[in-house]
Structure 1
Amino acid sequence: METLLPKFDSVFSVDCVIFGFQANELKILLIERNQEPYKGRNALPGYIVKDDESIDDAAERILYELTGLRGLHMEQFHTFGDVDRHPQGRVITVAYYALIRIDGHNEVKPVTNFARSAFWHPVNKLDKLPYDHSKIFETGFQKIRRRLSYQPIAFELLPEKFTLTQLQTLYEAILNKKLDKRNFRKKMLSYGFLKELDEKQKGVSYRAATLYRFDRRKYNKIFQNELNING
């Protein structure tokens, strides 16, 4: 005889870990909460999933309502389900992350009163966050750190035109260590997917550096050739 499960309600939330790079600093998008618990505290953009929406749809809605950003490509990276992670009861959260160019996304502003403000905050100056948001952030940070070793994700954070110094600074921020300048540049240029431009930095007080652009088509061609060789 088939046994029917009793009807029950599940509470899920979504938390978003959005990384950007600005003024030679790796940054994370935070909100200032305007509701209890933790009213007035800085936190990751996150809220409860509605009963009539999918997790993916909820992630897009919540990020827009709390920061004004929409149309980002976000990926799920982990589910957090500790019994005591939320002070108001059992809430399971699904975490998403995205890498974006802050240029063009400088204006972040909540469209609901759940948050007082949204802002970019340097990763290396991040204080302890409420709930388990510090753990969520760190898990997301480790995710992009691992991806950096096998995918050119740094170019999703940099402006379209960048210097090799900017590229190295970003790598050092993600890896949390200093890299040898000569070896780093030699390695990056050896890949063949950086295109040197006939342009220099503008508006700087020091010697202007050459600008480069990431050639995604060439990268895809190189990657496909490697697949053919290894396959």
Structure 2
Amino acid sequence: MIKYSSQTRILVAVDCIVFGFDGKDYKLLMVQRGFAPEKEKWSLMGGFLQPKETLDAAANRILKQLTGLENVYLEQMHTFSRPDRDPVERVVGVVYMALIDIEKYETQINEDFHVRWFLMNDLPQLIFDHEEMVQMALCRLRYKASMHPILFELLPEKFTLPQLQALYEGLFDMKIDKRNFTRKILSSNMLRKKNEKDKSSSKKGAYFYSLNEETLKGTTQHILNLIPKNEMPAPTE
């Protein structure tokens, strides 16, 4: 077998940042590390790329192995390559971002690896550069959410307008005027109104809606209109 001579072997790790939404709050799925260094501390879902798999295949394998989750929204986000980021060996970290509806996958979570949801504003101390990864992923998600209807990946198939507003308010950490939000989202034709209501919070209830797949193309401007101009995030690298 021919190999490149005089080259140092470098490990490639794949880390998955799993954002979830439970209808009210954003949460991050963490795993308790089972080996040294930093044993028993909280970590992103991670593992090493194997010789015969692609990065995408590794991300899906790691996510399923550590959490039991599969068939979720997953995209490659960034590569972290600082030489000293791992104290054991030279490891290049490739980060993936996943978006899931917590209630939909609640029974699918694998408890064997001490997996736990944490509120985004109450995260534990993370190992290595994982906090930097999370902050970059959050900025990336805000930017993408201001341009595309990506946040609908965090919602069930049917949802209420209050849930949808909470989704945007939670991500951008701001309050949005209810009347303006309702008017803008309904005028976009992005939603289909259901003939049923959610009465879990009040007797009057709130109508359920679903995403109108036929109008998704060309919805960028509609999404931009939902976010106040002074809250628009800058693009991320």
Instruction: Judge same fold: TM > 0.5, yes or no.
Output: yes
TM-score range, shorter chain: 0.7 to 0.9
What is the TM-score of this pair, normalised by structure 1? 0.86
User: How far apart in 2 are the matches of 1:197 and 1:77?
Assistant: 35
Q: Deviations over 1:7-46 (max 9, x none)?
A: 4312110000111110411111111112111111111101
Identity %: 38
Q: Which residue of 2 aligns with 1:10?
A: 10
Q: Which residue of 2 aligns with 1:58?
A: 58
Q: Is the 8 A contact 1:44 1:133 kept in 2?
A: yes
Q: Which residue of 2 aligns with 1:182?
A: 179
1:52 deviates by 3.0
- Which one is further off, 171-180 or 99-108? 99-108
What is the TM-score of this pair, normalised by structure 2? 0.84
Q: Which runs of no fewer than 5 residues in structure 1 stay unpaired?
A: 227-231
Name the SS for the 1:74 alignment partner. strand
Name the SS for the 1:100 alignment partner. strand
Q: Which runs of no fewer than 5 residues in structure 2 stay unpaired?
A: 223-237
1:120 deviates by 2.0
Name the SS for the 2:103 alignment partner. coil
Q: Deviations over 1:111-141 (max 9, x none)?
A: 6xxxx31122221221331111111111111
- Aligned pairs, how many? 217
Q: Is the 8 A contact 2:21 2:167 kept in 1?
A: yes
The list of structure 1 runs, each at least 4 consecutive aligned residues, that deviate by more than 4 angstroms after superposition, is none
Q: Deviations over 1:49-89 (max 9, x none)?
A: 22332222211111111111123342111000112111112
Name the SS for the 2:105 alignment partner. coil
Q: Deviations over 1:145-186 (max 9, x none)?
A: 001111011211111111111111110111111111111111
Q: Which residue of 2 aligns with 1:109?
A: 110
1:202 deviates by 3.4
User: How far apart in 2 are the matches of 1:90 and 1:206?
Assistant: 59
Q: CA RMSD in A?
A: 2.0
- Which AA in structure 1 matches 2:145? L
User: How far apart in 1 are the matches of 2:180 and 2:159?
Assistant: 18
Q: Is the 8 A contact 2:191 2:210 kept in 1?
A: yes
Name the SS for the 1:28 alignment partner. strand
User: How far apart in 1 are the matches of 2:196 and 2:185?
Assistant: 19
Q: Which residue of 2 aligns with 1:27?
A: 27
- Which AA in structure 1 matches 2:118? H
Is structure 2 residue 37 aligned with structure 1 residue 37?
yes
1:223 deviates by 4.8
User: How far apart in 2 are the matches of 1:110 and 1:7?
Assistant: 40
User: How far apart in 1 are the matches of 2:213 and 2:118?
Assistant: 29
Q: Which residue of 2 aligns with 1:86?
A: 86
Q: Which residue of 1 aligns with 2:70?
A: 70
1:219 deviates by 2.3
User: How far apart in 2 are the matches of 1:57 and 1:87?
Assistant: 26
Q: Is the 8 A contact 1:145 1:175 kept in 2?
A: yes
User: How far apart in 1 are the matches of 2:189 and 2:23?
Assistant: 27
Q: Is the 8 A contact 1:29 1:119 kept in 2?
A: yes
Is structure 2 residue 128 aligned with structure 1 residue 146?
no
User: How far apart in 2 are the matches of 1:158 and 1:71?
Assistant: 15
Q: Is the 8 A contact 2:23 2:166 kept in 1?
A: no
Q: Is the 8 A contact 2:148 2:219 kept in 1?
A: no
User: How far apart in 1 are the matches of 2:111 and 2:14?
Assistant: 16
Q: Deviations over 1:168-217 (max 9, x none)?
A: 11101111111111111111112111112111103335541111111111
